[in-house]
Amino acid sequence: MSINADYSLWFILPCLLLSYFGTAYFYAKNEWFNQQTKPIKYILKGLRISVLFVLFLLLIGIIFQQTFYRTEKPLLITLVDNSSSMLSYKDSAQIGKQISALQGKIKEKFKDKFELVTYSIGSDFKASEKFNFSGQTSDLEKGVNTIATNYFNRNVGGLIFVSDGNYNVGGNPIYAAEKLNLTPIFTLGIGDTVPKKDHFIRNTVYNDVVFLKNKFPIEVDIEANRLQNKTTKLSLWQNGKMLDASTINYSSEKHQFLQHTFLVEASTPGFQVYKVKIDVIDGESNLKNNEQTIYVEVVDSRSNVIFLSSAPHPDIAAIKSAMDKNETIESKYVSTKAFNLSAKKPDLVIWHEPGVQFDEKILLYLTDNHIPVLYVLGPNTSGAISNKLNTVALSNSKNQSDDVLAEYNWAFSTFELSESCKQAIDYFPPLKARFGAVRPINSTDILLFQRIGSVTKTDPLLFFGKNEQQNYGVLYGEGCWKWKLNDFIRSGSHDNFNELINKSINYLLIKRQGEGLSVSFPKRYTKNEPVIVSASFYNASLEPISTPIIAMLIKNEKGVAYKSQFAISGTNYKLNAGKLPAGRYTWIASTNFKGKLYSKSGYFIIDDIQLEQNNSSANHTVLKQLAIQSNGKYRFLKDYEKSLNEIALRDDITAIQYEEKKFLSLIDLKWLFGLLIVLLALDWFTRRFMGSY
């Protein structure tokens, strides 16, 4: 322990002298004090000197410094590949027992020396000591990367990694392992590394959405091992009927990749189920990967979207490029002067800067025909025009503009945006908007707020509303083309911008006819993601309410029903039906409001992704690389005891001692204040007891 102070510790001596002489001066001419006996005088002087001395010490600001030493045990982390491919080998029956034996031996051998933790990685990364090997994907990179992040700057002594080395999601884990600096990785491999006799459908490439009467390709990638000079048949089936077939001839090479394309006509609307099959060859090790089911949505029409403005603009080009990714939408640009009121009625109009060359006939045409509109209101659209549009009221009539940033509204629940899209919004450049307060005229759902610097305003930037004539959206500002460029600069793609635009457009395209139930149900999921559905209920004033109870019934192809109920989320509804098996499903959402029944129905599919069935051999090369680059060791799982013995003998896996210093100021000592109170009380009681006033 060391002692420091705000002033020199030599001041303690003058403080003691001041306390003594101050007390002597106080009692020098006190007649009552001079009449007391010597013991009483000594007691009174001692109490007064002590009180003054303690007060002087507090003024000096004395600080005590204590040094402690904390010992941190090394961490020994066990990471187990919990994917289903771990059960694809001859020794699979023994894997569970061997891993249990490994866990028991680790606890027995290292429970006093190490801090022990165990994780599993497959479809998800989680802390677990029980493994069922049911993961449908293998993201080994995520497992190593998460450990490196969670235990950054910790004493990670070693990582025991049990896996077959195969990964089908994410990147190679050896790059993530570089973040585990100075941590040896002991890899324990399972499975046979020798490729077995097998051929399988590696991948299928096709359009998710095609149009009725069109022909579309289904491209099939085939991979074969040790099937030299063999012949088989590849076929395409629908509803138990073979549509097409082709003979596949393998060459003399041991490992081969082949590709074949089927050309199919979309003859029936709706979700169509196709199966691609490859015939079995004698001696194949795995028959589960010889077949793949695909789902194609055949639509009989496209939504017709018109871009309307006085002149071309980069915003229109940016929005149109995002919509062109959606094959169910057909869009074109028309100038305000060339707009034909007698042409085929569009499903949606995107009107850029309606304040420039404003035509009231067009507005009447849109409202009378209940055509949804997305207005892009830049600084050239005045308050008078926006009032005519019946969308927003502007407080400033002057011709001024402002730069406004976007801020995501976390209470928005009309439809879902991905986390990456929400984060990208924070970095979008500002839009040029008309200066002044923006007040929506009707009931609205605000997706984006305006932000000036770090201050988020209550004024909306992007919102959706509805009046008696139509549904509409408003983007209050021009320059969204810069959002698209910013997204590419930050992420290398336009995915976040495209998602924001397409989900906004899809929401406006949904046919919502006044009072009643509205359900937003995506038509395609994978079996590894939860089925999440949004719903809304509108009263006669077209306001969203959450009073009715909305029930959901989901049925699979065999008629098995899943019954559930929507949960209330603000003024809307949400339902998480969880993960469902692959297949085609129908759904019915229903509710009763004021004695009237409302219902919506549809269908969706769960794609069957069989990534774990595509590898017939283990990939121990990855495990060896992990061990070599980290100064660890690679072995088969059955030889785990050798790895544990080596860990026990490693000199670089040891506890680390940390020095910690604790500072304590004298003024923080509560007992010192208690002592002062006691001394003052004794001084007062002694004088009172001896007759002093």
What pLDDT does 124 receive? 84
Pairing mode of beta strands 373-376, 348-352:
parallel
Asked which of 237-241, 324-328, 630-634 is least confident by mean pLDDT, the reply is 324-328
CA distances from 650 to 189, 591, 627, 632, 633 (A): 21, 67, 15, 10, 12
Torsion angle (degrees, nearest 10) of CA 88, 92, 98, 100: 80
Cα–Cα dist 517/536, whole Å = 6
Torsion angle (degrees, nearest 10) of CA 240, 213, 607, 535: -130
Q: Is the pLDDT of residue 88 over 60?
A: yes
What pLDDT does 652 receive? 85
What pLDDT does 551 receive? 94
- Nearest partner of 99 among 87, 88, 110, 111, judged by Cα: 87
- Residue 404 has a CB neighbour count (10 Å cut-off) of 24
DSSP 469-492: S-EEEEE-SB-THHHHHHHHHHHS
**Percent of all residues in the chain with a pLDDT value above 90, rounded to a whole number:** 31
Helix (H) / strand (E) element for 424: namely helix 419-425
What pLDDT does 655 receive? 83
If you count them, how many residues does the chain have?
A: 693
Alpha-carbon Rg for the chain, nearest whole angstrom, is: 38
Helix (H) / strand (E) element for 72: namely strand 62-72
- Nearest partner of 5 among 67, 57, 66, 68, judged by Cα: 57
Q: Is the pLDDT of residue 263 over 60?
A: yes
pTM assigned to the model: 0.53
Distance linking the first and last C-alpha atoms of the chain: 45
Domains along the chain with CATH numbers:
2-68+662-689 (no CATH), 74-194+617-654 (3.40.50.410), 198-299 (2.60.40.10), 303-509 (3.40.50.880), 516-607 (2.60.40.2550)
Q: Is the pLDDT of residue 522 over 80?
A: no
Q: Is the pLDDT of residue 447 over 90?
A: yes
Classify burial at 266, counting beta carbons within 10 Å of its beta carbon; exposed 0-12, middle 13-18, buried 19 or more.
buried
Cα–Cα dist 194/192, whole Å = 6
What pLDDT does 193 receive? 77
The residue-averaged pLDDT of 639-656 equals 88
The residue-averaged pLDDT of 569-583 equals 87
What pLDDT does 567 receive? 92
What is the tens place of the pLDDT at every residue in 618-632? Answer: 889 899 999 999 999
Q: Is the pLDDT of residue 396 over 70?
A: no
What is the tens place of the pLDDT at every residue in 112-145? Answer: 889 999 999 987 898 888 888 888 788 899 999 9
Cα–Cα dist 347/676, whole Å = 85
In the sheet with 633-636, reading across from the earlier edge strand, the strands are: 125-127, 115-121, 75-81, 156-163, 185-189, 633-636
**Percent of all residues in the chain with a pLDDT value above 70, rounded to a whole number:** 96
Pairing mode of beta strands 241-249, 231-238:
antiparallel
Q: Which are the contacts of 30, defined by CB distance < 8 A and separation ≥ 6? A: none
The residue-averaged pLDDT of 583-595 equals 90
